[in-house]
A and B are shown apart, each in its own frame.
Chain A
Amino acid sequence: MSLVRRTLMALAAPLMAVVAAMVITSLVVFASQSSPAEFWTIIFDPPAPRVYVNIVNQSAMIFLSALAAAVGFKMNLFNIGVEGQYQMASHAAAIFAGAAIFSGALNVLATLVVAMVVGSLWAGIAGVLRVTRGVSEVISTIMLNAIALTLTGYFLSTYGEKAGNSRRTTVLDPGSRLAGFTPFEERDGAIWTLVVLAVLAGVAFSFVLNKTRFGFDLRATGMSETAAVASGVKVSRMIVISMMLSGAIAGLIWMPAFFGAAYSYGTTFQAGLGFTGIAVALLGRNQPLGIFFGAVLFAFLNEQSNRLTLQSDISQNVVQITQGVIVLAVVVAYEVVRRRKVAAEQQAVRRNIDADKDAPGEAVSA
């Protein structure tokens, strides 16, 4: 296949998915007696400076979450538990940072380590259960999500400080807060310093996966477990390590917001990023670049949809439908494209064989 055709084939699936999602969203908006044109005008209106800042911040967190999911997906491990892992990790990290054992930048670094360790341990439970007891990681991580929700709720309500009607962890010492970078005016908010974590994690992810022995083993296990075993990969060790790696990245998800704006774990905690991450990882085909575009798209839709409530009578929840449809449509589209590709290849082979039959002499000389 020519390069042009290959590129077209590669782009066909995401494009088909986005078009399908737009059509379905328009139909849903239309069915609720609102104007699809109005909807898309509001969504595609140039964002205000404050919204730009939010999009960058949210994209970074979604990116980290998707990366965490992608590590597992790369070797056919469905880590549905990113949500629980980053919840446990964020809570533990907030307690640790609030205790101010270290000060200043050292506190930040130590807290990041704590977050990664707690996240990886929580994910490791699922990995160990899978390896030693044969428990499907899909079910165990779903259970661990629910347990994490209960545990953090219990710890917060038992040991948290009172703040109005709710409880929170000890507030972060001002010396360890990270002011961030203000691209516009002060009132438009700042891009959090630890957004840089997303960039670092993305670079590290592609380096480890594409340039190291470990990355090769991981990809090999995902593509064919039997082949990986034959080439000397210890699959059960790989499963535990990649689950823990996935959990470690998950531990970082909320850290930009914690050091940049929240300063304590409580009502400020942003839940649900783990599930968004799974969707974005699927959308981006587990590739850092794809995930990047997916994260920006989801953050853009989330932030822009806030205006719907102010400027129209359309519910902002409609973008959730859009996001779900994009995910479903993109996997369906990839499957359709893959089948077409296989069919095209088979046809090409057939043509060659037919040509060989017609001109046997040429085939031999070629």
Chain B
Amino acid sequence: MSTVVSEPEATSSKSRRRSFVPRWLLLVAFVVVVVSAVRIITGQDQIDSPGSLSAAIIATCPILMAALGGLWSERAGVVNIGLEGQMILGTWGAAYFTYYYGPWMGILGAALLGAVGGALHALATVTFGVDHIVSGVAINIIGLGAAKFLAEAYFANLEGGGVKQLTGLDRPPSITLPGLSDGAEAIADKGWFVISDLASVVAALTDNLNVMTILIFALLALSGWVLWRTAFGLRLRSCGENPQAAESLGVNVLRYKWIAVTISGALAGIGGGFLALVASSGFVTGQTGGRGYIGLAAMIFGNWRPGGILTGALMFGYTDSLPLRSADTIHALLLLVAIGLAALAVWRFTRQQTTQGLVFAALGGLFLLWFLVTDSVPREFTGMTPYLATLLVLAFAAQRLRMPKADGQIYRKGSAG
């Protein structure tokens, strides 16, 4: 019944107040309605229970930081494949500084070690003009080797430590809003259409939310503000779009690139620090597991914009955290994907892009068929989702994506002529 009530509301607001309601808000509303519908049809409450959402937020944070690091660097025109290596350095830095100086210094330590990786990348690409990909690959090798080596050299004899790990670290504090979180959780348990789903989001955000998570989302907002609303950000982005023009206007291009790439490394490092301090119970070598690369994918998926990378990181984080929970939930996701693809198909048809519309409709049909004829999905396949989604987005929307114009190009001082 409730479907009937809410649907006209959404459509009427779309037609009447298009210019007042931002498009992304409509999109969010659409997603909430669809997710809620899928939850009720399949009976899989885990799909957006407070627990699942909390796990998803925790899985999102490191990916978001890597993506944000990529954003800073690429907006200044330097491709940073070395995010993975800088993240790994961050995990070690967080563990070391937390052990000796506490969790707050641990976060700084993660940023510091990541920044060292970023500075190395800046030295090679900006100062020496080495190919960005080559330098990034080398930094990933060095970062992995250095973290393993440093762990063996510094953690082996510590309490809770070993040659490959350091556990039992203090965590940054968590915050719970007592009245709100309990109330929201109670509503979430009722299973009401849309209302329970929104309550679930509130519960996830108010119950046991780590300070570092808040910090990470604040960094996202801050980055968006600095890069798009300040003179500094304008100059930095101009180095990624047209460095010759920037230099002719008096911008010190090389300095801006240096700053951007170092910050990029620091942010990736904080992402690594989150993995060691919040997402798991301590430092383990190799715990980044390719999240630096997923971050890069999230950034491209998000079209080099803060809002876009948040969407990408949330999607990848959600699919990343889900396999740890119920296997049946993953099966329910097939329906969600099918509906999403159908929506894309409709959108394409309205834009007269019949071929793409047909492709999406066919894909949606396949997912629907998969949902109907099977009972479960192999766990491995959800792990593949971020990568497959990125490939598909790149394949179908490469024309809509717009990367910074001089991204990846080597710039030498004085080439403005």
Using a CB–CB cutoff of 8 Å, the interface residues on chain A facing chain B are 28, 32-34, 78, 80, 129, 133-136, 138-140, 142-144, 146-147, 150-151, 153-154, 157-158, 275, 278-279, 282, 315, 317-321, 323-325, 327-328, 331-332, 335-336
Contact = CB atoms under 8 A, between A and B. Distances in A.
23 contacts: A32-B150, A34-B153, A80-B81, A133-B396, A134-B398, A143-B387, A143-B388, A147-B391, A157-B380, A315-B149, A315-B152, A317-B152, A318-B149, A320-B145, A320-B148, A321-B142, A323-B145, A324-B140, A324-B142, A327-B134, A332-B130, A335-B130, A336-B128
A146 B384 contact: yes
Given A321-B149, A336-B128, 19 more contacts: A34-B153, A80-B81, A129-B391, A134-B399, A135-B394, A138-B81, A138-B133, A143-B297, A278-B137, A282-B134, A315-B148, A317-B152, A320-B145, A321-B146, A324-B141, A328-B124, A328-B139, A332-B130, A335-B128
A158 B81 CA distance: 33
B213 interface: no
A323 B141 contact: yes
Interface residues of B, number: 48
- Chain A CB count within 10 A is highest, among B81, B145, B381, for B145
B138 interface: yes
B390 A331 contact: no
Contacts of A151: 380, 384
Nearest to A129: B395
Interface SS, B side: helix
A308 B297 CA distance: 38
Interface in B94-138: 120, 124, 128-131, 133-135, 137-138
Given A32-B149, A324-B142, A154 B394 contact: no
Given A323-B141, A331-B124, A335-B129, A146 B149 contact: no
Contacts of A323: 141, 145
A78 B384 contact: no
A327 B153 contact: no
B415 to A, nearest CB: 13
A150 B384 contact: yes
Nearest to A279: B141
B290 interface: yes
B155 to A, nearest CB: 11
Interface SS, A side: helix
Contacts of B129: 335
B172 interface: no
Nearest to A134: B398
B363 to A, nearest CB: 16
B33 interface: no
A129 B398 CA distance: 10
B300 interface: yes
B250 interface: no
A7 to B, nearest CB: 23
A320 B384 contact: no
B131 A331 contact: yes
A134 B399 CA distance: 8
B378 interface: yes
B83 to A, nearest CB: 11
B398 A28 contact: no
Contact of A147 (B140, B146, B388): B388
Nearest to A276: B141
A91 to B, nearest CB: 14
B145 A321 contact: yes
B163 interface: yes
A135 B398 contact: yes
Contacts of B135: 328, 331
A279 B144 CA distance: 14
B273 to A, nearest CB: 21
A275 B145 contact: no
A287 to B, nearest CB: 16
B380 A142 contact: no
A328 B384 contact: no
B383 interface: yes
A236 B144 CA distance: 36
- Chain A CB count within 10 A is highest, among B149, B296, B394, for B149
Contacts of A275: 137, 140-141
Contacts of B386: 146
B274 interface: no
A328 B142 contact: yes
A324 B399 CA distance: 36
B72 interface: no
B293 interface: yes
B383 A150 contact: yes
A142 B81 CA distance: 10
Nearest to A338: B129
A154 B378 contact: yes
A146 B293 contact: yes
A107 B297 CA distance: 40
Contacts of B128: 332, 335-336
Leading 4 A-B pairs by shortest Cβ distance? A320-B145, A324-B142, A324-B141, A32-B153
A327 B297 contact: no
B322 to A, nearest CB: 14
A328 B380 CA distance: 35
Contact of A331 (B130, B293, B297): B130
Nearest to A142: B293
Contacts of A142: 293, 296-297
A237 to B, nearest CB: 20
A33 to B, nearest CB: 8
Contact of A324 (B130, B131, B138, B391): B138
Contacts of A153: 380
Contacts of B154: 32
Contacts of B124: 328, 331-332
B130 A154 contact: no
Interface in B13-66: none
Contact of B153 (A134, A278, A315, A320): A315
A265 to B, nearest CB: 16
Nearest to B294: A146
Nearest to B384: A150
B295 to A, nearest CB: 11
B308 to A, nearest CB: 15
Contacts of B399: 134
B163 to A, nearest CB: 7
A110 to B, nearest CB: 29
A239 to B, nearest CB: 15
A275 B128 CA distance: 23
Contacts of B300: 139
A313 to B, nearest CB: 9
B381 A78 contact: no
A157 to B, nearest CB: 8
Nearest to B144: A320
Contact of A150 (B120, B134, B381, B396): B381
B398 A279 contact: no
A147 B134 contact: no
Contacts of A327: 134, 137-138, 141
